[in-house]
Amino acid sequence: MVAYALIKGLTLGLLLSIAVGPILFTIIKQSINNGVKGGLAFVAGVSLSDIALAVAANLFTELFNSLIERKEIVGITGSIFLISVGVYFLFFKKVAVNKEGKQQLSFRKRDYLKLVITGFFMNILNPAIILFWLATSTTFAEDSLNQRILIFSIALVLVFVSDLAKVFLANRIRQRLTLKNIQLISRLNGAILIGFGVVLLCGLLFFSDKLPQG
Number of domains in the chain: 1
Mean pLDDT by 10 residues, the chain (214 residues): 78 80 81 85 93 82 62 75 83 64 64 90 81 78 81 90 90 78 80 84 68 44
Closest by CA position to 30, among listed 48, 44, 42 = 42
pLDDT score for 209: 54
- Amino acid, res. 210: K
pLDDT score for 107: 67
- Amino acid, res. 74: V
Q: How far apart are CA 157 and CA 137, in angstroms?
A: 17
**Around Cβ 29, how many Cβ atoms within 10 Å?**
25
Q: How far apart are CA 53 and CA 10, in angstroms?
A: 18
What is the residue range of 84's domain? 2-210
Q: How far apart are CA 2 and CA 131, in angstroms?
A: 26
Tell me the pTM: 0.74
Half-sphere exposure of 211 (CA within 13 A, CB side): 19
